Each structure stands twice: as structure tokens, then as C-alpha cells.
Chains A and B, each alone.
Chain A
């Protein structure tokens, strides 16, 4: 066995270090091993040319400096030829430093609570200066699977990484009369790119720009990240309407629902957009400080720490909480809550590659709203229990202003002016809120003060809420939370309709716009490979777990059911399957309709085409000419009837005609099913369909009905079922409409005669039917009488007047 070469200063013998060698260990080290000349430190393993003067530790340090000096991480791409091992160690080291840094920041953080603006400018503790700069990006950056979407950076509420604003910022905002400061809580993506660095580090403008570029050029990465982040819940940028809030409409769902059609949001887009362009307000900040004092700011930006350090003192009134200050942002968040709600960056289809950022903006909007609401809310919640100090005061003003002492018993005075503004926008709903929660008031009666209340600071609460909100984010609310989405939209629309009645203003009914994002290619994740590493390192993480068992589904062995299944049964099953397929097509049509909402007219075309095609498919299914029994079979199934009623509204005029004639030709059968499920809906659709008819069609339908009941020579039976009477009434009503709207000259004489005949028949049959057996139509048509008067003489009409009333007026 070759002699062991002991190099380096490490104490680990295996690494070639001398260390504290005991006699036994040295013996062991030099002892030959059992395996055939296996020498773990031989040249094959460690490469040739190991000279005595090679100090790997020195080399290591040099490399560390080298790496740190890289300002452009993109260029980096592992310039060093070392294996991942070295960099891993380095980052481990730097993580320690990172930890140290965060701990040191912790200290500073607490002092943050001293909100007095007067002392804001006072210099605070400096964080412990670090000599090593952390370059976590390579191994823990966005492309690294373990860190993919890690909430590691949300480690603690006191970590400055999370917060880009603080109450100090609020105060500053107030001072600067900046009503539109927004609480921009940067997304995780953004945060990940921020490398904690010491304040000593020279500005890294490149890094930031490069980060921006990277973010903008890799929307997919971002998107996928967002997707992965979702455990599913939430409606994103959209989704959750908080219409049911106690505080009324004040903070209606931040996002989703644009009250205006596509066009107008675009007009809002530009000013908003301008500020989005440089993601998350990096540039605006640089713009704001043209006095050349960029470096400390950049440091702060880079480090993601808001801590005002000693370096910041030269910039007195513009302290760290600077991020949110996009002064012209129309997203006046907390102060003007209604605003962001109107914004719908989601509808900015041109900005598709920025949609993600837009969504994030809105998330932040939502979060910001949430925070501020929570602040108010917790004011109310905490106060009764915590304070019982008689500071309760009256409902409005003092309440919101109630400064809640935080952990250090300090009154957060800057909050007060801020909250005051809040008050103005609360209005009556705020009062409602007050009364709504009597439960909280009780503890204050005669109870001792809860000394331990308020242990959890508002910030921490906001942090939790923020996490929860983020968990609710989703890009496709219709998929993730269909029922809640529909529920909130319906609620909103109901509200709108109600308001319309009150105001008389017609606003378009809201529909959830989902931005058509760049098609997310769900590539199968291929784990990152490290250059020069020995073997493949495991890169499995929570989001990309390792596949352990590969199970593929064998093609289902169909038809093996055997001939035991009778033909009948198979037929029935086939029928049901076909109806199901019909429903699937309906769902597809629905999806297409939703997708078109968010697109430009051009891009809508293919979708509309697809939609039409599907409708035709459906129609064909019903009108199978080869098998006349087909329709009958479908109708016999409840689901089939429902399918029919859902398809009918989708058709255009000619298609409607076709389908209606088919329906009418089967009217007797349908009449029989009157009592069963599904026909009610059919009535409705039929009503709607008839309302679109012209006289030609009406006559045609009339003819068909009469044909069906040819034997009886009367429409008696038709009246006796709901569908029938609904049909007849609708037809007459439509007839009246047509007669009113068209001059006699335009109408075809022949049609008129046929129609006249039909009406006569109608009255005749009505006369012959007994009063009790008439089924009431689903909706009343008061104009029928008028119509009848056109054709029929008074006497006859008088004869049936009583029965007519069934159709025309509401019966008590």
C-alpha cells in the first residue's frame, strides 16, 4: 500500500490532514487494508500532481473570494472547475454567516418597534459586519430544486426578508402625504433572488438588474413556481370575494372581478403598468434617489433588509421602508381600498409575460388589504380583552385610533394618523362591524386586564395571514375551487343586480377573468445536474419528489365483460355514456367561453370556432337521422332531458328551429314526462327559444303541434301538461310580439292565415278543456288576451276568459 500523503492542516485524516493523531490512529492510518491495495487517497482518486505545497484550504479561501467578487451571477455558472463539493462547503459556511446575520438583525428588529418618528433617524445598531459574502444562489437559488419555492425565507416573522415595509414606512407615508403608498409585499420569487449581504458590500446594481431581467425573461419558471406553491386553494389574484364581510363592501375582493369590460381596465393599465415594468419597484426606487445615494439603498434592496443602519442616516427622511413607495401607483392600497379592486391587471393580455408579476402585485394588494384590515380588526379584537382600560371610547374615531401597546408597551403613534385615514373610508359599515361583535365587549366588563395579551405582534399576525393568503393563491380558480368561485361570483352579481334596481344604472355583470397565461408546459422535471460531480447528487425536494414506484396502467381490457351482459343492458349503458359525452362537450363549451373572456378579439377566433364545432356536435347527437328512436331514448332519461334544455340556448336560429321541431314532434312523449325531473328546465329553455322565433317558425311549430295531436283535432291534451301549456302560451305571446312589431304589409299572407287558424284552434281547445285540468305555464303571458282579440270575436273570447286568466294573471 502506498504511503499515505498527509497534506493540509485539516484534522480529518481522511482528507489528508494530520490532526491529532494518536499512536493507534496513526497506526491505523498507515496500516495496510484488507482490500487489494485499496488506497482511498491514491492518485487515481485525487488526481495527479499533488505537490507538498498544495494547500487546499488556501485554495478554498481564494476561491471563496473569487466567487464573492462575481457581480454577475449569470456569468458565474460554475466557472471554477471544482466539483459541487467545494461550493457546497462554501455555502454552508455562508449559511452560518447568514444565520449570524439574521440573528444580529433580530436585535435590530426589536428596536423597530420604537415607532416614534422623531427617533427614526437615530442610528441603530449595525449588524455584525460579515467578511464572507454569501452566494447562495448557485445551490439555493431559483433554479435549484431544493430551494424551489421554499418558504425557508419566510423563516421567521422577525426576519427582515419578509417585510419590505414597516410601521415606520407608514408614518413616513403619512408624513409625505403619500396616500398611495402600497404595501408591496414582494413575492417569494423576488425574495429568493436577494442575497443577504452585509452593508459593507459595494452596490450591486448589476445583480438587481440581472435579477429583473431574469425574472422577466423566465416567466415560465416563475409561473411554475407559483403553481407549485399552491397547495390549492385560493383564488388568486382573483378569486376570493370577501363580499360577505362584516365590513360590507369596503374591502371587496381585491382582485378578480373587474367591474368594467375588458376595455377600460386597459386604460387603467398604463399608469399601473408603468410601475410594474420594473418588477416590484426596484427602479422606481432608484429613480427616487437621484442624489447618488444609491449604494446604501441598493444594499438594502439586495439584502432585503429594511433595517435602517447607520449608513442610512445620511438619508434622513427616506429610510429603509422604501419599497412600497411607488408614488404614482394608482394602487392606492390601504388608504383607498376601492382602487385596487377596480384594477384588473389580469385582463392585460398584452402583458402576458408580466401577468405573473401582475398577479403577484395583486396578491400583494390583497395581502396589503388583508393586513390593514387585520390591523383594524385586531384592534377591535384585541382591545376589549387586552385593554379594558376604559379606552374604549365611541364607535368611530377613537376606536380605530386606539393605539395598541405592543410588546414593549409603546404606543404606536404613527399608526394613529394612518388609521384615521382609514376611518374615513369605513363609513357605516364600520359601525356595523362594531355592533356585530358584541361578544368581544363582554370581557371588559369588570374583568381584570389581560397582562399577557398582545404577545403576538401585529406584524407576526400579518405574517401568518400572509402565508395563509399565499396558500390560497391560484391561477385557475375555476379548477381549484370551482364552487367557491361560482358562489362568490353569483353573490356579486346578485348584489349588482340589486344595486341596478336601486340605481337604475346598468353595469355589466361581472365575470371572472382569468388571464390567458403563457401556456405552461408541464415538462417533466429533470433534476439539476452538477458539473464535475461524482455521480448524480440527489436533488429531490418536497416539490419534486423522487419517483419510487413506476406504475403504468395497462390498457383497460374492454369488451371482456362477456356476452353475459344482455343487449338491452348494453344499449342502455351506451345511451348513458353518450349522454355523458354530451355533458363533457357542454363542459368544454363552458371552458371555452370562459377562456375567451380574457383574450383579444383576434385570439378569440379559434376558440369561438371550436365552440361552434362542439355545439354542432351536440346538435348532431340529438338529431341522429338514422335512428329516429334516438331522440326518444334520450328524452326518456332525465339527464338527457336536462342535456337537451342546456343545449337549446346555445344554438343559433336555424339550429334552434331544427331542434325545436324535433322536440315538438315528440311532444306527446315529453308531455307524459311532465311530472318527472328535467322537464321544468326544458320548459324554460323552450320558452327562451320561442322568444327568438319569427312568424315562419311559429307557424311551423304550430303546424307540428297540430300534427301531433291530429287525431283529437284539438289541442286539449296539450293544455293538460305544463310543457304544453307553456309552449302554447309562449307561442301566442311571441305571436303578439311579432304582430306588434311588424306591419301587416310585411307579413306573409299565407303565414298569417295559418297563424290565424292556429289561434282559432287554440281558443276552441281552450273552450273544450275543463278548467281544472289546465296546467299552469311556468310564466304568465298577459298579452295573450290581446292577441286573441286580433283574431277571435269577442264572444268566443269571453267564453274562455276564465281559463285565459289562468295564463295571463297570477292566481292566488
Chain B
């Protein structure tokens, strides 16, 4: 808790730090937080989008990102010293995208099976892929 904002937190302290930001759509961004505003809209600099599949990950360079505050799930400071996690293996981007596609395909198939099963039992399947507060 900072001293000038008693009882709460502020992103001001995180400025110019390397942060890992998880968005509502599941994306993971890593970048330097350059600027914020009262809605927690973020300006990320030297951003990379990191895709994780299993123990492997791949980075896509994205440059400068402006993220609307409402889409941020969480953000955390990256430990610069232990950044290169030995337990995770970095793979080239194309590979990771391929893996991600495969993973999503598999998930989709599972979902379809579940939906079918639910329908057969008379239950109405709900779409959980959209994390929306209003539906």
C-alpha cells in the first residue's frame, strides 16, 4: 500500500516497470508501462504478446499497445532477474501459433461434445467462451 494512497493501490507506482498484463480475452502481454489514466487504461511500450501452450511459449512483438482499462484482468511486475524461466521453453512464433491452434481445436471439440451431451439431456448449453458480465 503506498503512502499517498492510504488504503488502496495505484498504478502510478508501476510506471516504467516491465509488467505482465492479462487481458479479458485471455491474451498475455508483457511490456513497459508508460502511462496510465484514471480508468486504468494502459500504454505499454515494447510489448510482446506471449502465447503459452503447455510448457512452451512464443513471443510476438507488438510494439506499443494501448489497452482499455476494462479489459485488464490483472497485471503484475516481471521479475527482471528471473525473467527467463528455466522451466518454460521458448519456441519460434510459428510453432507456438500452430500449437495454440491445435489446442483451441481440441478445446472446441470437447466443448462440442459437452454441448451435445447437455442437449441430449435437455439442458440448455451456455456459451462460456465469452466472459461477459451481461450475459
Contact = CB atoms under 8 A, between A and B. Distances in A.
B3 A245 contact: yes
Contacts of A488: 6-7
B38 to A, nearest CB: 4
Given A456-B34, A456-B36, A251 B3 contact: yes
A744 to B, nearest CB: 58
A452 B32 contact: yes
A453 B32 CA distance: 9
B37 A247 contact: no
Interface in A211-251: 233-235, 239-242, 244-247, 251
A478 interface: no
A488 B6 CA distance: 10
B47 to A, nearest CB: 12
Interface string B37-56: 11000010110000000000
A58 B105 CA distance: 69
Given A382-B16, A460-B35, A241 B81 contact: no
B17 interface: yes
A275 to B, nearest CB: 24
B10 A251 contact: no
Nearest to A251: B3
A481 B6 CA distance: 12
A499 to B, nearest CB: 20
Interface in B1-27: 1-8, 10-13, 15-17
Contact of A452 (B3, B45, B81): B45
B6 A461 contact: no
A173 to B, nearest CB: 20
B81 A484 contact: no
B10 A468 contact: yes
Contact of A253 (B6, B35, B36): B6
Contacts of A683: none
B80 interface: yes
Contact of B12 (A244, A245, A455, A461): A461
A374 interface: yes
Nearest to B34: A455
Contacts of B35: 455-456, 460
A456 B1 contact: no
Contacts of A253: 6
Nearest to B2: A377
A340 interface: no
Contact of A378 (B8, B12, B34, B46): B12
A409 to B, nearest CB: 16
B99 to A, nearest CB: 32
A726 B36 CA distance: 60
A454 B16 contact: yes
Tell me what chain B mostly uses at the interface: helix, strand, loop, or mixed.
Answer: loop
Contacts of A386: 16
Contacts of B12: 374, 378, 461, 464-465
B3 A377 contact: yes
B10 A464 contact: yes
A377 B12 CA distance: 10
A397 to B, nearest CB: 20
Contacts of B10: 464-465, 468
A452 B34 contact: yes
Contacts of B1: 242, 244-245
A472 interface: yes
A385 B4 contact: no
Interface string B82-123: 000000000000000000000000000000000000000000
B56 to A, nearest CB: 28
B80 A242 contact: no
A382 B5 CA distance: 18
Contacts of B43: 455
B81 to A, nearest CB: 6
Contacts of A175: none
A450 B32 contact: yes
Contacts of A251: 3-4
A381 B77 CA distance: 14
Interface in A428-476: 442-443, 450, 452-456, 460-461, 464-465, 467-469, 472
Contacts of B45: 452, 455
A247 B3 contact: yes
Contacts of B81: 442
A120 B4 CA distance: 30
Nearest to A450: B16
A45 to B, nearest CB: 43
A462 to B, nearest CB: 9
Contacts of B46: 452
Interface string A466-498: 011100100000000100100010000000000
Contacts of B2: 245, 377
A464 B36 contact: yes
B5 A370 contact: yes
Given A464-B36, A464-B37, A467-B38, A373 B15 contact: no
Contacts of A369: 4
A541 B22 CA distance: 33
Contacts of B17: 385
Nearest to B79: A439
A430 to B, nearest CB: 12
B125 to A, nearest CB: 30
A484 B34 contact: no
Nearest to A469: B5
Contacts of A233: 8
Interface in A551-602: none
A793 B96 CA distance: 92
Given A455-B34, A456-B35, A461 B15 contact: yes
- Interface centre among A239, A381, A488, by most B CB within 10 Å? A381
A382 B17 CA distance: 9
A685 B1 CA distance: 37
Given A442-B80, A442-B81, A468 B34 contact: no
B41 to A, nearest CB: 11
Contacts of B15: 378, 381-382, 456, 461
Nearest to B13: A381
A484 B5 CA distance: 13
A453 B46 CA distance: 12
B6 A241 contact: yes
B16 A385 contact: yes
A251 B13 CA distance: 18
Given A452-B34, A456-B35, A465 B5 contact: yes
Contact of B3 (A239, A242, A467): A242
Contacts of B11: 464
Interface string A302-340: 000000000000000000000000000000000000000
A129 to B, nearest CB: 31
A572 to B, nearest CB: 40
Contact of B8 (A377, A442, A455, A468): A468
Contact of A246 (B3, B5, B8): B3
A450 B80 CA distance: 14
A454 to B, nearest CB: 7
A436 to B, nearest CB: 11
- Interface centre among B7, B38, B46, B81, by most A CB within 10 Å? B7
Given A443-B80, A461-B12, A377 B38 contact: no
Given A382-B16, A465-B12, A242 B6 contact: yes
Given A382-B16, A464-B12, A484 B80 contact: no
Nearest to B3: A245
Nearest to B17: A385
Given A242-B3, A370-B5, 9 more contacts: A374-B12, A377-B4, A381-B16, A382-B16, A452-B32, A452-B46, A455-B43, A481-B7, A484-B7
9 contacts: A233-B8, A239-B7, A242-B1, A452-B46, A456-B16, A465-B4, A468-B10, A472-B5, A488-B6
Interface of B: 1-8, 10-13, 15-17, 32, 34-38, 43, 45-46, 80-81
Q: Which 5 A-B pairs have the closest CB atoms?
A: A240-B6, A245-B3, A370-B4, A242-B6, A373-B4
